[in-house]
Structure 1
Amino acid sequence: MRTLTDKLPVDSQPEAPPAPAPWYRHPALLPWAWAAGLCLLYATVAVRRHQLLRTTGYDLGIFEQAVRAYAELRAPVVPLRGAGFNLLGDHFHPLLAALAPLYRLWPSPLCLLVAQSALLALAVVPLARWARRALGVRAAHAVAAGYGLSWGIASAAAFDFHEVALAVPLLAFSLEALAHRRWRAAVAWAAPLLFIKEDLGLTLAAVGVYVAVKGPRRLGIATAAVGLLGSLVEIKFLLPAFNLGGGYAHGGNLADGHGSLLSTLAHAPLDALRPDVKALTLVLVFAPSALLALRSPLAMIAVPTLGWRMVSENPFHWGTAYHYSAILMPVVLAGLIDVLAREKSARNVRASLVTVLAVTAVLLPSFPLAQLVQRPTWRTTPHIEAARALLARVPDGATVAASNRLAPQLTSRCEVMIFPTFPVDTRLDLRETGPLPAPTAEWIVYDSVPPEAWPQKSGPWPYPAEQQEAELRAASEKHGYEVVAARDGVTLLRRSPN
């Protein structure tokens, strides 16, 4: 039996429907594919750094002790910071407890490093998804690369673990919601920032200001008020309550440097640009967007973090190292998408994205992701093997005083403190403070060999190597410790039984 189509000329036969694209090329999977790839990239750098003894007690060991305490249903008391030191008295980050179930399943510093890698990578999902819908697939790839390979994220991924990793994806999802005018969702995503760090209430307030200007005024004003009040309560009441010394532990970073509040405010614009490293950092923050994010009102959400960093008296806050810029990268890339989505010229959009990729490529070798192509990253030295061998001799459950770079190798199975214990007042001339109190740990493990990468000193503050050696000799000669083993600059001591 002939059908109707059989009677038609060959040229008029209906075309067959196009074959469906393979599942792995579905546009909705693009953001998640980037997230998976970036997670693997960050985790490779972070885990390898740990294997090379480049992670430190300050800060990976500190956060592991806190999360380990949460996993054991205890207060986050951190021996690395001192006897009875509750970490909630340093920074207010109770949301760290969310990692406790994962740590309970995998009690290792690697758990925190991989979790941080996943959190930082997750932030690419809302950004790439927004870019794909607003600008197309190719633009989504460019935005994902611009975020994922940005120096701010790279610096965070390759420097131990920090609570800000929890904030990065939350803010990214909030920014996507702001772009689509889903005001309540944007506030809901940003609200947990209050429980990640005390200054992030100001970022929540900035989200509220944006909502008040662009959307429902009442919701925006309420959000801004909650953010400001939340940070105030945390700094003035909650942090001092947990701090053994009372007061806000980091208040000194924002000390009045000009004699009066009025004078300080008058000098603030210039202080924010002096010394020159501050101005360079401000430029580099927006560089991943080829500076286009400065044209977006979303850039105002970066103001609180940039503001406190630039007026801080702590030089660590001024530069591009460490984790301080991670929270800014979603804002910068969101600003880029916002600006390009309003650009009418497709040619200008393409040129802007090419510039973004060029800037990313130029900056990439100067920041930590470049470690992946460096030969020392994949070489295990005899010194590292010696350190691992001696650390393996420390029994589980022991109390250990360890050098800064050895501490996170032990924090999952021992109670660890820093050797030597650092004085509280880091402004003292440490050569004149005299000997430290006698160590109380069962074991001491000390590494005299300088690391191949930051930190070049054995702790977060300058501590003369000769004084460290003197404290080690005193432990052996005066405090009843016996040398168990010494190899390639690593010394293991144990307290003699009475």
Structure 2
Amino acid sequence: MAGALFVMYAAVSLRLHQHMLTSSYDLGIFQQVVRSYAEGHLPVSEVKGQDFPVLGDHFSPILALVAPFYRVWQRAETLLAVQAALLAVSVVPLALWARRALGSLAGAAIGACYGLSWGIASAVGYDFHEVAFAAPLLALSLTALGNGRLTAAACWALPLLLVKEDLGLTVLVIGLVIARRGNRRLGTLTAVAGLAGTALALFVVLPAFNPGGSFAYWSLLQDPAAGGQGAAEGSAGGLLDVLHQGTIGLLTPLPKVTTFVLVLAPTLFLAMRSPLLWVALPTLVWRFASSNSLHWGTSFHYSLVLMPIVFAAFVDALVRRGTSGRGLRRYLAGSAAITLVILPSFPLFQLAQPETWRTDSRITVARRLIAMIPDGVTVQASDHLVPQLADRTSVGLYGSPGSRPDPQWIMVDTEVPDEQRGWPGQPLSVEAEQQSLTANLGNGYDLVALQDGYMLLHRRTTTRGSYQPPTTP
């Protein structure tokens, strides 16, 4: 099952990358991070800004584990394949737990429902993210916790501190559940380690590396206008406002309720009967307290860490109820039915769509123009072109104020519609982009190629004859 899921996940994400539907935020950023580790220095990202230290943005040193694979194959596809493997592996402990405790049918059904769940599908369909490491760690930790192996549960949980700064709070809750299950000393130590890890990351490490001297995302819990493109009119005014409103603040507006229902629906809401579900609380609180409406919904990768938690709680609840026979089969059938009903709305269903396997002629043109850019040069490019160049150039986002000025090459897709533009991936409107390109052409850049809306520019050098533009296609 893990092998089949790996093939599915990899096929979706690799095909999206081949269609140039991956983006600078976030595949481009993470590729630059992993490339930095592979080259033996602390991670920087030109997409975030000129020589921007990424350890000042999010605390995810676990990404260094991808560097050896990247040294073997220095492509964005390496990150996507690693993510597919991590997510596929996470099905194993949950399916084995269900099989041991509830029988072979339960193991197969719960493993398949988890592997095809919408939270995993959303993550697979949107670039690469560090939280892919959290999926197997949470599955292993919660499986151990559900089987009374409390030391193993703590040991699998602690590496979450290296995945992302907020997951220390998840470790904290796992520690509290361990304490409640009988090992108070171990549970207390785990909880303290989780809290201390998050505090150290938020108040020491991230401010030390961040050029602004503080954690960059506090504003999302304080100011509704700080959500950028994702800030919704009438949104909650950050964490204090949400806490003041109580449960109403956490579950309004409607997208929050929709997400909460969809998280629990594949388990027929039975996960709510397990104390393991408390482990999902930190992630749900920070997401629903954020003033960025993108955090509230079902898109992107934000629900990935919730999937192993709710399915572990599902297995735990079934075991606690002593469910067997016809009753167990009804729960499994219900879970499978809901999973299959939801599946077509999320990226895994693209495998069944013919257009997924066709190649647009514009993509062929784009790849030919990208091949004209030499290795090792500085580039500014459109959002979806950045991941195609991050393996062999120093590439930033065209039009971003933080990008390296006067790059040697510029490649822009001028046919990105206005409704797809905005912070952070496409910082310029169509009109502003046209004005900027006109200014480039009048200020030291030659037009190398213009075809199918792709525009390739090269900066003139002071050495006469050092570069001869090829014939425009």
Q: Deviations over 1:268-288 (max 9, x none)?
A: 422211111101111111112
- Partners in 2 of 1:326 and 1:422 — Cα distance? 31
Query: Which residues of structure 1 form unaligned runs of 5+?
Result: 1-33, 424-436
Checking the alignment, whether the CA contact within 8 Å between 1:439 and 1:475 is kept in structure 2 is no
Which residue in the other structure is 2:467 paired with? none
Which residue in the other structure is 2:470 paired with? none
Which residue in the other structure is 2:232 paired with? none
Q: Deviations over 1:188-214 (max 9, x none)?
A: 001011111000000000100100101
1:476 pairs with one of 441, 463, 466? 441
Which residue in the other structure is 2:258 paired with? 280
Corresponding position: 1:445 with 2:417: no
Q: Deviations over 1:106-156 (max 9, x none)?
A: 111000000000001110000000011011111111101111100000000
Checking the alignment, whether the CA contact within 8 Å between 1:403 and 1:458 is kept in structure 2 is no
Checking the alignment, whether the CA contact within 8 Å between 2:27 and 2:387 is kept in structure 1 is yes
Q: Deviations over 1:267-321 (max 9, x none)?
A: 2422211111101111111112121111111100000000100001111100000
- Partners in 2 of 1:89 and 1:226 — Cα distance? 21
- Partners in 2 of 1:91 and 1:140 — Cα distance? 36
Q: How does 1:308-347 map to 2 (within 5 A)?
A: 308-344=286-322, 345-347=324-326
- Partners in 1 of 2:239 and 2:256 — Cα distance? 22
Deviation at 1:342, TM superposition (A): 2.5
1:390 pairs with one of 369, 376, 380? 369
- Partners in 2 of 1:237 and 1:194 — Cα distance? 14
Which residue in the other structure is 1:236 paired with? 203
Q: How does 1:17-32 map to 2 (within 5 A)?
A: none
1:306 pairs with one of 278, 284, 309? 284
Counterpart amino acid of 1:193? L
* Percentage of pairs with the same residue: 49
Which residue in the other structure is 1:430 paired with? none
- Partners in 1 of 2:210 and 2:64 — Cα distance? 19
Q: How does 1:385-464 map to 2 (within 5 A)?
A: 385-422=364-401, 439-450=405-416, 459-460=424-425, 463-464=428-429
- Partners in 2 of 1:463 and 1:211 — Cα distance? 50
Number of residue pairs the alignment of both structures matches:
450
Residues 495 and 373 (structure 1), Cα distance of their counterparts in 2 relative to 1, 3 Å cut? same
Corresponding position: 1:198 with 2:196: no
SS of the residue corresponding to residue 52 of structure 2 reads coil
Counterpart amino acid of 2:331? S
Counterpart amino acid of 1:388? R
Normalised TM-score (structure 2): 0.92
Corresponding position: 1:493 with 2:437: no
Deviates more, 1:121-130 or 1:366-375: 366-375
Residues 450 and 175 (structure 1), Cα distance of their counterparts in 2 relative to 1, 3 Å cut? same
- Partners in 1 of 2:253 and 2:241 — Cα distance? 18
Which residue in the other structure is 1:366 paired with? 345
Q: How does 1:31-42 map to 2 (within 5 A)?
A: 34-42=1-9
Deviation at 1:474, TM superposition (A): 1.1
CA RMSD of superposed structures (Å): 2.0
- Partners in 1 of 2:48 and 2:437 — Cα distance? 20
2:73 pairs with one of 106, 109, 127? 106
Q: Deviations over 1:326-367 (max 9, x none)?
A: 001001111111111233342211100000000000000000
Corresponding position: 1:155 with 2:122: yes
Query: Which residues of structure 2 form unaligned runs of 5+?
Result: 225-235, 463-473
- Partners in 2 of 1:462 and 1:95 — Cα distance? 30
Checking the alignment, whether the CA contact within 8 Å between 2:381 and 2:410 is kept in structure 1 is yes
SS of the residue corresponding to residue 359 of structure 2 reads coil
Highest CA radius of gyration, 1 or 2? 1
Checking the alignment, whether the CA contact within 8 Å between 2:399 and 2:427 is kept in structure 1 is no
Residues 407 and 177 (structure 1), Cα distance of their counterparts in 2 relative to 1, 3 Å cut? same
- Partners in 1 of 2:115 and 2:409 — Cα distance? 42
Q: How does 1:218-233 map to 2 (within 5 A)?
A: 218-233=185-200
Corresponding position: 1:465 with 2:430: yes
Residues 215 and 463 (structure 1), Cα distance of their counterparts in 2 relative to 1, 3 Å cut? farther
- Partners in 1 of 2:256 and 2:57 — Cα distance? 25
- Partners in 2 of 1:260 and 1:121 — Cα distance? 35
Which residue in the other structure is 2:356 paired with? 377
Deviation at 1:179, TM superposition (A): 1.2
Deviation at 1:259, TM superposition (A): 8.7
Which residue in the other structure is 1:73 paired with? 40
